[in-house]
Chains A and B, each alone.
Chain A
Amino acid sequence: MATPPLPPRHLVSPAAVWMAVAVAVCVLAVLPVLGVALIATGSSDGLWSHLVANVLPRATVDTLILMAGVGLLVTVVGTGCAWLVTACDFPGRRVLEWALLLPLAVPTYIVAFCYADVLHPLGAGPTALRALLGITNPRDLPLPDVRSMGGAIFVIGIVLYPYVYVPARALFAMQAANVLEASRTLGASRWRTFRSVALPLAWPAIAAGTSLALMETLNDIGASSFLGIQTLTVSIYTTWLNRSSLVGASQIAMLLLALVLLLVLVERGARRGRRFAATARQMRPLHPRPLSGTAGRITALLVSLPVVLGFVVPVAHLANEAAARVRFAGLSPVLFGEMVNTVILALIATPITVLFGLVVAYAVRRSRRAAAVAVVRVAGLGYAVPGTVLAIGLVTALATADAWIGAVARWATGVPTGLFLTASGAALIYAYVVRFLAIAANGVEAGLANIPTALDDAASVLKADRLRTMVRIHVPILWPALAAAGLLVFVDVMKELPATLLLRPVGFETLATHVFAEASRGTYEDGAVAALLIVLAGLGPVVLLSRLGRPRHAGRPPGPEADVLRV
């Protein structure tokens, strides 16, 4: 009997090639962070004794309180709403199901500006309240100030909860159906079913979403500094600007990164040992329990609250301000060009980011070694570094590259070339990719985790090579996850401010830089039109995103596409 032919041998294994490509992507992603680290090795002139005595303890405590508050808020709101729209049927559920995503379209700093206006004693809220109570003098009705820790937690949390809502809903909707029904059949209460079965099942997705929201909280500068919260990120800027120490600032940024690594470890721990992919195909969609009468109305009210607070209130305020502004000062003709610039940047940066995310996440699937997982984590670091600090690291790296290119070009052509990469559109795109790679990689990775590895093995038995397996099997199944990641990246690029501001070419403006210019003139109300345009431009992608996650018709076995919607 003839022995079966041996599989073809490669000099270099395909897994190693994948790994090499992934490492190359990570090196690119990490270069700006390394730039920051390099700056951090400089001398900080004895700054640290002051920082340790007077700045860092307070900043660390405030940062941790802010993160704990935001973490709790996004987890409770995101998970709670996801559960209610999946497990219950109540008036308005179909609309709320996608409307809950809308806050994603509004930048955090703009929501902070809006609430500072709306909740000011002279703002719409307290004015209406005083009219209701028959009070004329604002001093007779002191209300809590949004410029406080509580206010910051509220503002940031109410915008970021969709990061948890999206993956949690996908999990609840698709994965757990028959497990949940089994739990009910076995006599467990609804609450116990949620607590002991549904929640643990969705936990990895919730943890991933929460960690993204927390990273965004960590690198926020606009909202926290406007509301007067002294976070570590705010102290990075203070150290850089007022103490004129970019070195000291970079050192605090490194400290911040340590905090992020800790966060990532915790999140990893929360996800560990939970793989449910193999059973996913045997699931049926959950049949929601109808809630009628008072119970239905209360649930509807409860679930619409995050939409109202995170989207309707700020956007209504913006629309109102924008209308007043247009009547008063007319529509600025430059806005159209800025909108085009903004969308073009997002259109270029998004596919690159998603492709890189795919490469990185795929490397992890291939190798499943600790080293590979570490690579993914490292690639995502850019997300946690404050944008301006990252941009400084990037400028340093690009300027060096420009000097080399310039030298080569002069040698080859005899003509000085000027700046090639620094302050070019390419630098901006690069910054976006570095900054949002974590979103793409996380999304794709979570999606891949839900494709049974048995599929790979089957493909392998059928002698499909690795690339073919990916292109023919994984990518089609992954398509919704890729699209979801892409839409999130797209919206994030449009909202991005600090890196855009620092790296854009001379004479190139986007909607975000327009808003910032007006805000720094002290007339952030003037930026209302541009801010509203950012929101409007983000609505399309957000609505698309919500359609991706919508459960298919009952009776059709759900494909894995629904549960890969994790961010």
Chain B
Amino acid sequence: MSRFLRNPSALVGLVIVLLLVVPALCAPLLPIADPNEANLTNRLAPPGSDGHLLGTDSLGRDILSRLLHGLRLSLAVAISATVVAGFAGSLIGLLAGFYRRWVDTLLMRSMDMLLAFPYLILALAIVAVLGPGLLNALLAIAVVNIPFFARNVRGATLLWTRSAFVEAAVLSGRKRPAILLAEVLPNVVPTIIIALSTTLGWMILETAGLSFLGLGAQPPTADLGAMLAEGRTVMLVHPHVGLLPGVVILILVVGLNLMGDALRDVLDPRLSQGVSAAPGAATVVERGGARAAGAENAGPVEDSFVDVRNLTLSFSAEAEGAPAVQDVSFRLGRAEALGIVGESGSGKSVTALALSRLVPSPPARILRGEVRIGDTDVLRASPSALRQLRGRRVSYIFQNPWDSLHPMIRVGEQVMESLRLHGPVSRAAARRRARELFEQVALPDAEAALRAYPHQLSGGQCQRVGIAMALANQPELLIADEPTTALDVTVQKQVLDLLRQIREEHGLALIFISHDLGVVQAVVDRVMVMRRGMVVEEGPTAAVLSNPRHAYTQQLMAASPVLGRGRKQDLGEAPADARGGEGA
């Protein structure tokens, strides 16, 4: 609740709604005229005239009074219709989503029948049968909104019903109806609330609409839609009579929708995790004043190709917390291979992405440091210089092979795009080159693979496409971010062999990120162990593995069981502070 009130749009919405609803509720108590008291001698008085703050309509009735009473009516009808539709629709959705099979087919196919009508048309048909009138309009509007609730609630129910905790409840001996009520329903409630709040605004519009068409509230009842229709007849000379009810509807619905949006932001778990922030083109570099100490005299060092100094990066979400990457420095020569190892939260992937400013901003900000790749000063590079660096001189292989490729573009096209982004290459030439690359990464049937979409390939094949794409422009630096984590062990070995082979043939520099010391050592010359954004230990692979100096490295090595050591091995006691590290 407090989170809801801290949301600015919720606050604005709430104020708007209260400003309208409170006077409307108090309308009978306020010192205003009776809404139906006609006075033909004082017709169409302009706003501000004596005793009629907003003037009078064509029968001389007080517009303010009619507005407030109309508002009461609209709210009452809209809320009742929302409750009826919400209850019926949610019940249908819950049952369909939970019991699936024939229950689902039966209920949702009936909903499809209702959805086959544009909803206002269906409402018209219902009113046609029942006859015009406010109650019938209410019923019509409620019925046409049932499918909306049913669909939303069914979707949520289905999602939660498939989740592991529902199966866990089965293993706890819970009966099916109890699972629906005690396990699934509490998780579906936010969806229902969101749907209710979204619908309320529509209901107001729809009630007013039917009344406007003369099918809802009948004269002389004060109703916003009916007032609008009446005002239309005198629109030419007295526009306020028709405009005012519309303004009231608009403001009320804006208020309700603002509250609805805020409610959704608070209740939708995906949105509260900050899903809505889309990253920009490059990580923001923010230099609070001078450069970090020690980086002052940083010129390119002769033998190093990659030179990182005091790189510090923070995700603004954790405002006061420790930076995600803190004072990381390392160098890498041409044709050298470095492994960066660490557990989740160690900052290893962030470091790798930061090398070409691919860490999503917002929320990431680079606070200080230097990154040089060849003669490019990455943190000061212009957008176009960055684009020339990326994919041309520095390329990436990512962790999740399927998600990293565009799902709807043929993989051949995607490799060709890499080629054509960095120079004038004809389609035919790009295609020949893509074919060569596919053969080089040992994709079986390269010709067919060019025409495949990612979902038609296995994980290992997708990763080979990813590697082919990374190699397209013969980069000088290849950065592989957990490239085998999502793969099966036997496939992992093949991909590692391929990477090793590529290194030998192309003589490129390689940075290999992994959570697994064992995987890294198969490919790299040097390792760097990271923990909580800092470098813990760095050295030649063999030296670090045979004689780890830092306690954390020792613990990491002891932690994973080794095949062939059987039950004898002791997976090691965590150092004192590792327990704290595991806490949430």
A interacts with B: no
B residues near A, CB below 8 A? none
A residues near B, CB below 8 A? none
